[in-house]
Each structure stands twice: as structure tokens, then as C-alpha cells.
Amino acid sequence: MPRHLRAFCLILLTIATVVSTTTALPAEAAPRFRVLVFSKITNFYHDSIPAGIAAIQQLGAAHNFEVVATTDAAAFTDAILATFDALVFNNTNSLPTSGDLLNASQRAALQTFIRNGGGWAGLHAASASERDWPWYEGLVGTIFDYHPDFSSTGGTFPGRVKVLDRAHPSTRNLPELWEQSEEWYNWRTNPTGNVHTLAQIKVRDGINGLDEGVDHAYSWCQRYDGGRSWFTAGGHASSQFSTPTFLEHLRYGIEWAAGAVAGDCSATETSNFERVGLVTENLADPFELAVGPDRKVYYIQRTGALKVVNSDTLQVTTLLDFAYTSAMTDQSDGLLGMTLDRNFASNGWIYLLWSDKTLKQLNLSRFTVANNSVALSSEKRLLTIPTYRGEGRANSHMGGSLAMDAAGRLYAAIGDNTDPFASSGYTPVDERAGRAAWDAQGTAGNTNDLRGKILRITPQSDGTYTVPSGNLFPAGTARTRPEIYAMGMRNPFRITIEPQTNAVLVADYGPDARAADPNRGPEGTVEFNRITSAGNFGWPYCVGNNIPFNDYNFATNTSGAKFNCAAPVNNSPNNTGLTTLPAAKSALVWYAYSASTQFPELGTGGGGPMSGPVYDYDPANTRTTKFPEYFEGKWITYELTRRWFKTLSIHKTAQTFSNARFGPTAVGDLQSINGIFGNMSWIQPFEAEFGPDGSLYVIDFGEGTGSGRGGSNAGAGIYRIDYVANGRPPTAKIAATPDSGRTPLAVTFSSAGSSAGDGSALSYAWDFTNDGSTDSTAANPSFTYPTAGKHTARLTVRNSGNGLTATAVTDVVVGNTRPTVTITVPDGGFFDFGDKIPYTVTVTDPEESTIDCAKVTVQTQLGHDSHAHPLDVYTGCSGLLATEADAGDGHGPGQNLYTLITAQYTDGGAAGGVPALTGSTRVQLQPKSKEAEHFSAQSGVTVNDRATARAGKRLGEVDHNDWVAFGPADLRNVGSVTLGVTNGGLGGTIELRTGSPTGTLIGTATIGSTGGWDNLVSPTVTLTNKPTGTTTLYAKFVNAAQVNGTPDLLALDWLRFNGAGVKQEPGGTLSLAANPTGGAAPLTTTLTATATAPSGQSITDYAWDFGDNSAIAHGATLRSTTHSYPRKGTFTARVTVTYTSGETRSLNLTITVT
């Protein structure tokens, strides 16, 4: 029975005394619902209030709902409100100082109305009402803070609104960019993520004074405290209420609030998605996945295995294993790409891109899944791509992603197979003889080569392929390959297909220069590309929105002219294709390390773009956990390094606008970038695909690499992300201690971390042997396994609120014990790139009395921000590791680079089919030269961009007791630390402490005035009382005389850790002298190094660092140099000699200028 009929007779007399106007409906038309329009104000009166009332009344008359309008808060009683389905707060406005809209009993009545399922709609200044009532702030979503001054333009200002939700009835039919003139509001707190955002202000439209950042909500809705809430910030001007688009927006907002029309209002609320673990153990470089029609998840590991996990039972089966050796996968070769045929349900075809184990090539093959396995004999090899292998680090960029469109065309993303580490972070176009692997013009820029490309072919049932029409080069074109769909790619690591249009969506990695150089090229830039037709996307000549690089002569180290993106010419001797290339196409989205003016939504830092899927909403899908229709057509993207997920919304229509400030839009333009899953943390999000169930399946790569056979990535997982607004399931977590050991094995199980999800009670069902029976209902039971073998333990949890369940599994190996592995290289030890580091690995295994050192593998990786590049693999219990001598040059100055070392050992298993187990350990080495901004933690400081800083950044806003931390750190063989510091403020002391900001003091430096913030000094601090082992080093800034945080104490630019650290000394000798070592400013001194090289080597470089941020002087014969210090201070000059092997020796000398 309608709400108004239930209580109408009871309150008819009362309501007649408090309402001012009522819409008239035809006598024979029973209203669909009733709305109370409330327009009371105690503060600012909006002239549009009467227009709002009239408009809602007209909507009611036209669409058969009854409208009652009042300014009298006496209508707010339980009885009266019970006759309405929705309340509309029409530009209500109040301040605590001017009086509330509602008294205590009236507020209680509003709460009761909402809690009983009522609806609320707010217009504009409804957000400026009841500003001291937290419950009302929650009902609205936020409270008005202030608006910019628009008095010079009549109180409003032209702008555009990005309509994000094309499914909700209140925004479904609005323009993609909705042009209007409005009094734009700023909010007390940004509601984004707490409500479902329907539309946002386009903040880069020249509206001055907006302060909400990139997500400035304009209209939103939510389920709140049992009821429905819908809000629009529009409605300041009376003219709005005669605009058809605004009236439609308003009408359906009211209808949704009244419960008269359906609409999802939870899609962008952060808490409405849940990550469910499918595989969280024993993952070695999980690379790509695809979800079958039965929800089984097929996935590959770069180490060679194709596996499948049953989403219901979580049972993992290995279908195929190429069993690559560690040496084969020491860079980026391996099993790289996988996708299912579009008719997989009937033919079982699966496509793999894999490195040939014998030949230097990638193979693109079709295999057949049959009887839960894949036979190697089922291979149909479609295509081979010759590659470099074992030439520098060319195998760092192999790409590898596969995808198939609805027409059955297969796409393969192939990296440029070019060494990126010897071009200073800019474009690798080294044309010297013997350097083809360092020249991307021979691959990505070569029309006759398949590398650095997106390939497109149509597989045939007999294992051959045809070339579809529309590729970049027609078949038969001389010096081209017809399989090329898009060229000019560097490392297109993830591609996906937009199901609605077959557009190819590509994320392409860029070079690593930290800053633009007018003589080399742009700052390291990465891209998202939406490809709707064949083309050239620029690499290695241009990047981003066609930003050109300079031609560069690596033989003479001289820069040439900028490349012409409109007409690139490939005249490299390594080019076998066309000389004149197609014009370069701009990326859809591009960004670098620094903040992007075009795309500030993407943040700052290292770039690791990943292309995810576009959602194809299926109304016939009955699963409540499917993503809502809001996501239809949105491109899910994610970031390996910055660890976020975002949607890219693309214009489906072309628009023009009345205001001359706004240029036209075209189909395919970017409309909006919006964050999702903001409450989820990731280590390295690596792959994402939608399943047929409408859930998103994701790989988190975890830490490090599992390139050793049997190794695994710490923290890696394969997950399903469900939409849980329609019922939140529990979360199951399982742990076993121990997870391996001798027979019989007593194991303690834990469900710690499991939760009900909805706040209800949680029940537990344990199946220790995976036989389908419940063995325990305790939260944390114990069980003794009497027989040897691999046992799968299963935990199923159920919440009492909605009866939903969740499952987690873990493996327990009985009859074999996981080996323990240790390495003598300390975690946090210090090194210079080019150092050679001795190591010894010790393995303890209870079942093996003799350790086979041939089964010990040690791998080095180049750490870069939060990810790592695999480098070299060593075999044996001891040896000498080489660090990457070109690492700093290859990534450009100022990069956060370090070395990771992983050691592992796989035992031989045990009789009776007891599986082998792998033990491993991992250490991180710190570079001796460290930028201060590369801290591991901090309190109080700010990273400032400063042109005079060594790498363009330094720590500022430094106050008393602020600190930064660097860890892990092991200070063995480090005797002192040099600090690069400036001070144009108060000055203070830098305390070096270990363990905590108040831990053991191991050194201090007192920093007086340096004469200005850009004047750097470099005192060296001798370390005492150093702890043994791994710790965290803190630099704490102290000056108790500072008052109220002003002025700043100092600015810290960099640190240099002096001493051998963990390296093996290379031999040779080095001494350093200065004449004079001190004197009055300005001081000119001559620095002289006396050096000899190790036996059989020569000196290739003398590098002079004068300790004042002036340019480092280099020269193979520069044994002596003169330098002038124009101002007083303590400076640490350092000479570094480099030998043929890439190893170095360094010495410091203090220069004191008075």
C-alpha cells in the first residue's frame, strides 16, 4: 500500500495547516508518489527558490506525482512525514548563528523518516543547511564550505560538468560534458568515495577558486541510514529551472529518491568492492590471466608454467610447463603472453607467446586444453619473432601481452628488445658498429621487424593465419611486415580490446630520464593509447603527445636536431625497413615523473602504466557480485609503480559548446579519469581482466621475481574483485604453522584476519585433507598429519548476517621440510654501481645431509622505485656478484635505484611423491650516493622541486624534531656520511641515529648559514657507536630555538656513505691531495689524484665531485683539476676512478673555506 494512503486519514487536518501549495492532479489519476518540497531559510535567500518550487510542481503534474510545498518546519513530525515518499530541500540555508531549520524533535522526525526507508533530495544550498549537525552532513554527503567570488559575472560562472554515470536515471540522458553557468561550490570535506558520484565539475575549465582537487563532485547519491539521498549542486539561478537538461536531472533525482525508479547508487563508494584471494601461494612471476566461461582462471608464470585455478574449489592444476632455467629467465624472456580463443568453450584453444628454449626467438603458438591438461604435441605455431638474446640488457623489454577481439583477430604486443641502460634515460639510437641491440631504430622504428609493435593476425583452424585488412602495411609492400597493426612501441606490456568497438587499448612504458634535457629529449614519459586504426606511435623518435627526442651521436657524445614527429626518417644502419615512416600519432594519455598539467589525476613518481579491460555490462547476468552498469564502457587502467586503479571514460559523442573557452570534443577523446578501489593496497598490480561473471580478476605480482625454478614472489596473488553493495560476504584468511616438516607433522592453523564483512558472527569449517568433510569448527584448530604427501587444507567461513561464505586454502607438505637459506651479503649493505660483491650461501635442510651447490641460484635485480628489473643469475654456494655499472646512466640522474639479491635452493623432495620445496632469502643493497628524497619514511619534511638541487629535488620545510629515515641499512665498512645541505634559514644540527628518531646517536653535523637556500655545503660526519646488523638510519633535525616552525632549519639534498661497504676491493691504488686544503673565500684549489689500475686493467675515467653541486668533471686522463669555491663553508671533494671492469675506487678530502 502506498505510504500516503497508510496515514492519510490520520494527518489530513494537521497537514492542511502547514503546507503552502499543492499540485493539482486529474481526479482520475492516482499519484505515483508524494513529495514534500521544503524551502525554509534562516540565512541567505536564493532568488531561485520560487522557480524551484514551480519547476517541481510542473514535473509532478507532468509525471503524475503529488507535490506539497512548505517553508514551515512544523511539517516535520513522524505522522506528517510518513505520508510522503521523498523530501526535497530546495535551496534551504541556515547557520548555527542565524538559527537552525529544524528543532530537536523535527530533526528526530527527519531521521525517523529516512530510517524507515524515505528519500531525500537536495538542491544547491541544501548543502549549506544545518551545518552543525553531523547526521545531516552524512545525509547530504558533505557540507558547503564556500564558493569563489563570481560577482563580476552576475553570481555565476560558465563551466562544464563531467557526467560520469550513464546508467543512473538522473544523469543517463545528460550530455557527456554538460555546459552550464553556476555558482560553483567548494565542500567542507570532499565526498568522493563516501558517496556515489554521478557527475563532477571539470576543474580545468578555467573556474578559478575551486579547491577540491581533481575529484570535485557536483551531483551524487547514496543509500544512507536506511533511506535514499540524492543531491545536485545545481540550482543557484532561476534560469536553471527552465533548462530541459536540468529539469530531467532534477526529475529523475526526485523519482529515484522516492523509490519510483531504479538506480544503483553505490558504484563509486570505495567500500563496496571486496578482493577475494584465489591463489596466494607458490606464484613465480605470475604474468597474464584469462577467465574461462566456467569461471576457471587460466594463468601463466614467466618461469614456464600454464596453470588453472577453479574459482569454487581453489584447486590449482598445472596444464603445461616449459620449465625454463634460471639463466633463461634472468632478464625478461620466458612465458610472456596468454589469451583464450573467443570460442574456447567449444574448441579449447589457448594462445601462448613464449621464448624458444633453443633459438633466439619468440613463438606465438596455439595449444589445446583437453582433459585438464595441455599436450606439447597440440602446438600449432602461428608466428616466430627473431630476438636479441644475451646482448647487453636487450631482453629487458619483451612485452608479451595477447588479446583477441570479437571478430577472432589475435593481437600480440612485442617489446622493442633494446638495451635501455646505456642512453642516460633518453632514446636508445646508438648507431655504432656492434651496437644494434642498443638501437631501437632497428626494431621499434623498423617497418620490416616485428619488435616494438602491436601485431594483428587472424588465426585459422589449421594452425595458419591470415592478415586482416586495415593493418599498417598492405601485404606485398616492400620492406614491411603485413602483420604490423601499430609500430613505434617501446614496451607495450599490457594490451586489451574494447568489446564494444574492438579498439586496441595499449599501455606503453617509456624511458627513465628524471628531467627533460633540451639537448637529449623529454622527461621519462609513459603512455596509454586507444588505437582505432593502424598507425605509428613514435618510439624511438617521439613520445607522449609527439614530444621529440634529439638525434644523438653515441660515438662523439653530441646531440643533433630534434626528430620530426610529423615525418620521421629512419636512416639507421640497423634499419631494414622503410626510411620514411608514417607520421607519429599522439597518445591518449601521457605522463612523466613530475606532476602532469594535462592529467594531474595520475599523481607523480615512476611510471608503470597497465592497460586493463573495458567493462561490458550484461543485464542477463544474475550474479549480485557483478560490477554495476555505471562501469559500462569504462576502461580500467592501473599502475604498477604508483599502485592505483583508475577508470578512463571516453567520449562516445562529439560536442560543441556555446562558450568560446571550450573547444569541441570528438568521439574517442578522453572525458574523465577517476580513481577506484582506493581502500585496497597493492604491491605491484600486474594484470586485470573481467570474467563472464562480471567480476574483475587481478594479478598482484608481489615482490621481486620467481625466476628460479620452484621460487615464488613474496606477496603475489591472483584475486577476484567483487561488487558487494548487494550483500557483503565474509573474508577468509588461513595460515599453517609449520607448513612443512617430517612425518607425523603437528600443524597449528590460524584464521586470523578473517572477518564477517557485515559485522555479524562468523562460523568456521575446516577440512584439513580436502576430502569434503568438516574436521573442525574451531577458529584456530590444530591437526596432526600422519602420512607423507602434499595436503591441501581448506577453511570455509560463513557470516550469520546474510549466510554468505568465503574459502581459503593452503598447502602443507608432510615428509619434507622447506630448506632454510641464508646469504652473507647483509640486508641494507652499501655499494656503488659497478661494484663486485662476494657472497656465500648457506642451506640447511633436515632431509638432506649434503647440499648440492649446483642447485643454489642467486639472482641480482636492479631495483627502481617499487619494481625491479631482473639482471643476472649465478649458480653455486659462493661467488662474486656484479652490480650494474650502467644503471645510473641508463635511468638518468636522480633515480631511486638499488640492488636486490635473491638466493634460493630447491631440495629433492622425498619418496612417495612428496614434492620438492624451495627456500629463499632476499636482501636489498643501498647505493652509497643517495638522494635525500629517497627516504623510506619521514615526519614533517616536504620534498621540494629546486633547480639547483643535485637531482632537481631536496628536502625542505624542515622544523625542529622533524626526521627522515633510510632503511634497511647495514653500516658495516661505512666509516662516515657526507651530507649535502643548504641553509638560508635558522640552521641546526643533523643527528644521525639508528633504530628510531630517538635511538642511538652515531654522528652529528652542525649546519650554520650557507648564505642562501641554493648554496650547498657538504660536511662529512664520522660515525661512532654503530650497531651490528641491519637497522634503520634516521636523520633528525634539531634546533630547540626555533619558534612556531619558522624559519626553516635547513634543506637536505643528498647523502654519501663513505667506505668499502659490501664490495670486494678491486685492487689498484688511489691517493688524493689538494693544494691548498683551506683558506679564505674565494678559494681556488688544485686537486690531484695518484692512481694505479688493478692488474690487467686500465683506468677509464676520473670523476671529480667538488661537494658544492657544481658539475662533476670527467676524463680518462683527468688526474688533476682546479676548482674555485666562491663562498665559505666545509666541502667534501671526492675523486672516483673507474676501471675497465666497471669497478671503482673513491677517496674524499675536506676543503675548508673561511
- Taking only the tens place, the pLDDT of each residue in 79-119 is 999 999 999 999 999 999 999 999 999 999 999 999 999 99
Query: Is 477 found in the same domain as 397?
Result: yes
CA–CA dist 932, 530 (Å, integer): 38
For 940-999, write each residue's pLDDT tens digit.
999 999 999 999 999 999 999 999 999 999 999 999 999 999 999 999 999 999 999 999
Cell 577458529, located at residue: 779
pLDDT at 1135: 98
Q: What CATH number has the domain bearing residue 201?
A: 3.40.50.880
907 and 934: one domain? no
At 6, is the pLDDT very low, low, confident or very high (cuts 50, 70, 90)? Answer: very low
Phi and psi (nearest 5°) for 233?
-80, -5
Dihedral (CA of 190, 195, 200, 201) sign = negative
Q: For residues 955 and 693, what is the distance between their CA atoms, to the nearest angstrom?
A: 49
Q: Are 570 and 584 in contact, with CB atoms under 8 Å apart?
A: no
Residue 855: strand, helix, or coil:
helix
Same domain for 1082 and 1048, yes or no, is no
Same domain, yes or no, for 939 and 884?
A: no
Q: Show the cell assigned to 36.
A: 514534500
CA–CA dist 662, 356 (Å, integer) = 53
What's the pLDDT at 757?
A: 87
> Confidence class of residue 17 from pLDDT cuts 50, 70 and 90?
very low
Measured between its terminal Cα atoms, the distance across the chain in Å is 92
Helix 49-63 with 244-257: angle, nearest 10 deg? 70
Give the DSSP per-residue string, 421-449: TTSTTS--B--STT-GGGBGGGTTT-TT-
Task: Tell me whether residue 674 is in a domain.
Answer: no
What average pLDDT does range 52-72 have in this prediction?
Answer: 98
CB 335 within 8 A of CB 298: no
Q: What is the pLDDT of residue 648?
A: 98
Place of cell 624472456: 333
pLDDT level of residue 14 (50, 70, 90 thresholds): very low
Exposed, middle or buried: residue 684 (CB in 10 Å: 0-12, 13-18, 19+)?
A: buried
Per-residue pLDDT at 2 exceeds 60? no
- In 3D space, the residue among 615, 639, 638 whose CA is nearest the CA of residue 627 turns out to be 615
CA angle 233, 88, 51 (to 5 degrees): 70
| Residue 567 domain-assigned (yes or no) | yes
Q: In the numeric block, which cell numbers belong to residue 197?
A: 558520484
Q: Which of 230, 228, 272 is nearest to 124 (CA)?
A: 230
Q: Is residue 61 part of a domain?
A: yes
- 868: confidence class by pLDDT, cuts 50, 70, 90: confident
Phi and psi at residue 81, in whole multiples of 5°?
A: -60, -25
Model confidence pLDDT, tens digit, residues 446-490: 999 999 999 999 999 999 999 999 999 999 999 999 999 999 999
Helix (H, G, I), strand (E, B) or coil at 698: strand
Place of cell 548555527: 96
For residue 453, the cross-strand partners are 414, 487
Per residue in 736-793, pLDDT tens? 999 999 999 999 999 999 999 888 999 999 999 999 999 999 999 999 999 999 999 9
Mean pLDDT of the chain: 94
**At 890, is the pLDDT very low, low, confident or very high (cuts 50, 70, 90)?**
low
3-state secondary structure at position 103: coil
Residues forming a β-bridge with 200? 162, 217
Phi, psi of 122 (to 5 degrees): -120, 140
pLDDT (tens digit per residue) in 1017-1068: 999 999 999 999 999 999 999 999 999 889 999 999 999 999 999 999 999 9
In a domain? residue 668: no
Average pLDDT of 1090-1105?
Answer: 96
Phi, psi of 328 (to 5 degrees): -70, -35
Please say which residue of 265, 298, 331 terminates a domain.
Answer: 265
Identify whether residues 1010 and 941 lie together within a single domain: yes
Q: Using an 8 Å Cβ cutoff, are 651 and 671 in contact?
A: yes
All three cell numbers of 523, joined, read 622527461
Question: Residue 174 domain-assigned?
Answer: yes
Question: What total of structural domains would you count in the chain?
Answer: 6
Q: What pLDDT score was predicted for residue 1095?
A: 94
Percent of the chain with pLDDT strictly greater than 90 = 91
Q: How is residue 748 written as a grid cell?
A: 597449528
Residue at which a domain ends, from 236, 265, 294: 265
CATH of the domain at 784: 2.60.40.10
Given this model, what pLDDT does residue 1053 score?
98
Check: CB of residue 935 under 8 Å from CB of residue 966: yes
Domain holding 1084, by residue range, is: 1069-1153
Say if residue 474 is preceded by a cis peptide, omega within 30 of 0: no
Same-domain status, 1074 and 1018: no
> Is the distance from CB of 196 to CB of 264 less than 8 angstroms?
yes
pLDDT given for residue 1107 in this prediction: 98
pLDDT given at position 8:
39
Whether residue 243 is found in the same domain as residue 113? yes
Which domain-ending residue is among 927, 961, 981? Answer: 927
Regarding whether 626 and 765 lie in a shared domain, the answer is no
pLDDT digits (tens, 9 = 90+) for 671-728: 999 999 999 999 999 999 999 999 999 999 998 666 555 667 889 999 999 999 998 8
pLDDT above 70 (res 28)? no
- Quick one: pLDDT band at residue 866, thresholds 50, 70, 90? confident
The answer to whether residues 914 and 971 belong to one domain is: no
Q: pLDDT at position 1, please?
A: 38
**498, 566 contact by CB (below 8 A):** no
pLDDT band at 1136 (very low <50, low <70, confident <90, very high): very high
Q: Is 676 within the bounds of a domain?
A: no
What distance in Å separates the CA atoms of residue 399 and residue 1025, rounded to the nearest whole number?
Answer: 49
- Residue 206 pairs in a beta bridge with none
Higher-scoring residue by pLDDT: 873, 244: 244
| CATH code of the domain covering residue 919 | 2.60.40
The per-residue b/e assignment along 956-988, b for 16 or more CB within 10 angstroms, e otherwise, is bebbbebbbbbbbbbbbebebbbbbbbbbbbbb
- Bridge partners (DSSP) of residue 636 are 647
At 514 the pLDDT is 87
Partner residues linked to 535 by β-bridges: 486
What pLDDT is stored for residue 889 in this prediction? 57
pLDDT band of residue 27 (cuts 50, 70, 90) is low
Whether the predicted pLDDT of 11 surpasses 60: no
Could you give the CA distance from residue 670 to residue 198 in angstroms, rounded to a whole number? Answer: 17
Is residue 322 assigned to a domain? yes
Residue 855 and residue 939 in one domain = no
Kindly indicate the confidence band of residue 5, based on its pLDDT and cuts at 50, 70 and 90.
very low
CATH code for position 519: 2.120.10.30
DSSP string across 784-834: EE-S-EEEEEEEEEEETTT--EEEEEEEEEESB-PPEEEESSPTT-EE-TT
Residue 1031 CA to its chain's centroid (Å): 29
Per the CB < 8 A criterion, the answer to whether 1015 and 1129 are in contact is yes
3-state SS record for 475-527: CCCCCCCCCEEEECCCEEEEEEECCCCCCEEEEEECCCCCCCECCCECCCEEE
Spatial separation of the C-alpha atoms in residues 945 and 951, rounded to whole Å = 9
Residue 975: half-sphere exposure toward Cβ, Cα within 13 Å: 4
Pairing of strands 805-814, 740-741: parallel
Look up cell 573495458; give the residue.
Answer: 614
Identify whether the C-beta of residue 1012 lies closer than 8 Å to the C-beta of residue 984. yes
DSSP three-state, residue 363 = strand
- Check: CB of residue 1112 under 8 Å from CB of residue 1104: yes
H/E element, 79: helix 78-81
Per-residue model confidence (pLDDT) at position 891: 61
Same domain, yes or no: 45 and 174: yes
- pLDDT, position 714: 86
Q: What is the pLDDT of residue 21?
A: 57
Same domain (yes/no): 188, 256: yes
Take residue 826 and report the three cell numbers written for it. 647483509
pLDDT score, position 886: 76
Mean pLDDT of the region 1120-1137: 97
The answer to whether residue 964 sits within a structural domain is yes
